[in-house]
Structure 1
């Protein structure tokens, strides 16, 4: 039995869709029609040269080795694409058939071990689709269908993207399991991306580490993580004791960003918003009917009494998030600062205090100045005035941010 396990993200998304029984059952029963299979195979033969086992025994011997290591029972056929110059490889899976199409002069530029790495990567796609009764293949079809539906939220597009990025890392891990040498897999990866016939894996690892130190941003690609991310993942999955302080999850999913939330991050942001609302209405004097109505507009089932995250916990999350999240929460604070005219400037003072505790003071101050059309001097004067009023309220025994 192979030890190649899907990433946690794959399991989480699979379990998420399995809970939607009707959707899951529909996609699970949606098999490829015979006419589609016939057309696919016809188009494949028209646009490729099929490598048979007699003329290319070395290729099929490599495939046999891979199948033994990964416990794959597929009927594998390899093809060479016509008129292709860029090095590439892709796989199409039809039931128990695996059709691998090579592009460019791959078989001549890559060494036999590097060819093995590429073929192992492609066959790991087959493995991923077949393990656990094909549940991950069903999951992929569901999320791709949702991402391609114009009516769907952008979060589904991001979810499909992240699912695919993790899938490529899974397949890279399959290559590593087969080749047992990350340098071979990295060499194959770099050659495929550059077209060079000679590369130095150690040199590229140093380059990749230099990139991460200067720019630890998440992958911006849609289908495959950047080569430097994949290379570092290969090296440090093998040499775990040498692994630097790299947050792999952040390199794929990235920090919380309002523009790139997946369906799970959407729920996280909703939860954090609820918790900030609980901070806002903690003092009795802030809990007016007008403020309560605004809470209900945010969340129809909102309750003041439900326990939320602490200020410190929220501050830690916000600190790691992107500017778009800082701006979003700042506008939430401003909503409540201005909703009830009877509170006058006290609500603004209180939200400024919350912003400071949540490490949002810079973003919130900027937005307050912008929306209230205040100069820096006018804002400072207003801030001093309302904070003095807030101190008086606290001195009178009103509960606030620091009281339960």
Structure 2
């Protein structure tokens, strides 16, 4: 790293949570039974399934195994004032990362090898910090039923009833808002908006060979052009239709949001707040969400 980062001792999730995330979470809390569904029906089975899958088909990162990745994890956790989860690397040709956490259970993050191959160390840390944002904000309560619903709808014929579809749509809307929050966590960890926007650019159109050729300034201009489409009623309608069934906002919109927040007084105030003591939460112990 080329500069000394501020350690955000005592950082609270609501200090960086996106307003849309706050609003969408408030709406979800009014839905009865979601939290009970996760804890009583899905928690034990899902937790054991993913733990077994990680142990059997992934590599657990540690001081002895891929120590540079382990260092990136510990640095991000120290900056965000968060206990380190387990970090796994899994062979997969689809660039992605995800996290899973149940209350009282060991959380973990998984990075796909194809994503690591495409990114710089700082960008990998941004991805790790994005996933840490889900843990910091305790998004797992709603991430777990969303993923179960999506999987069930694809595997069980005629399972997608009106009620399930409605719930899925509401959960997807919440998730798109939650992703903005986690991008902010990535910015707080790296403290460089260009790093976060570069990850989004590479996810949109990168590969190990193309990534070094991509122009970040041109991508930021592209994000601003996407904004201009909203100035017409038809453009706004098309954008809404495009994103309605997506789990994530489109990359250019996420880049625009992080560009704006990096210039905000809220972000600057978080970096300038008094640092009380030194965060020593660096010892590893030992909802599932895509990047």
Q: Shorter-normalised TM-score: what interval?
A: 0.5 to 0.7
- 2:87, 2:109 within 8 Å by CA — same for their partners in 1? yes
- Structure-2 residue corresponding to 1:231: 255
Pairwise mapping of residues 4-403 of structure 1 onto structure 2 (< 5 A)? 4-5=13-14, 6-16=17-27, 18=29, 23=33, 26-27=36-37, 29-30=39-40, 32=42, 34-79=44-89, 81-82=90-91, 84-94=92-102, 95-129=104-138, 136-140=139-143, 150-152=161-163, 154-193=165-204, 194-195=206-207, 196-198=210-212, 199-214=214-229, 217=236, 218=239, 220-221=242-243, 222-240=246-264
Q: Distance in 1 between matches of 2:44 and 2:146?
A: 24
Task: Report how far residue 152 of structure 1 moved.
Answer: 0.8
User: Scaled by the length of structure 1, what TM-score is found?
Assistant: 0.50
Find the structure with the greater CA-based Rg: 1
Q: Distance in 1 between matches of 2:164 and 2:46?
A: 29
Count, aligned residues: 232
Per the alignment, in what secondary structure is the counterpart of residue 111 of structure 2?
strand
**Greater mean alpha carbon deviation, residues 179-188 or residues 2-11:** 2-11
Q: Distance in 2 between matches of 1:24 and 1:88?
A: 26
Distance 1:50 1:200, change over 3 A: same
Per the alignment, in what secondary structure is the counterpart of residue 223 of structure 1?
coil
- 1:144, 1:160 within 8 Å by CA — same for their partners in 2? no
Larger % of helix: which?
1
- 2:101, 2:140 within 8 Å by CA — same for their partners in 1? no
Q: Distance in 1 between matches of 2:29 and 2:95?
A: 37
Q: Distance in 2 between matches of 1:41 and 1:146?
A: 20
Per the alignment, in what secondary structure is the counterpart of residue 101 of structure 2?
strand
For the aligned residue pairs, the C-alpha RMSD in angstroms reads 3.0
- 2:76, 2:189 within 8 Å by CA — same for their partners in 1? yes
Task: Report how far residue 145 of structure 1 moved.
Answer: 7.5
- 1:168, 1:224 within 8 Å by CA — same for their partners in 2? yes
User: Scaled by the length of structure 2, what TM-score is found?
Assistant: 0.68
Task: Report how far residue 143 of structure 1 moved.
Answer: 6.8
Gaps of 5+ in 2: 1-9, 154-159, 266-291
Task: Report how far residue 45 of structure 1 moved.
Answer: 2.8
Q: Distance in 1 between matches of 2:147 and 2:45?
A: 22
Distance 1:162 1:11, change over 3 A: same
- 1:13, 1:139 within 8 Å by CA — same for their partners in 2? no
Q: Distance in 2 between matches of 1:178 and 1:13?
A: 24
Task: Report how far residue 163 of structure 1 moved.
Answer: 0.3
Higher relative contact order (CA 8 A, sep 6+): 2
Deviations 1:313-333 (A, max 9, x none): xxxxxxxxxxxxxxxxxxxxx
Task: Report how far residue 154 of structure 1 moved.
Answer: 5.0
- Structure-1 residue corresponding to 2:287: none
Gaps of 5+ in 1: 130-135, 242-404
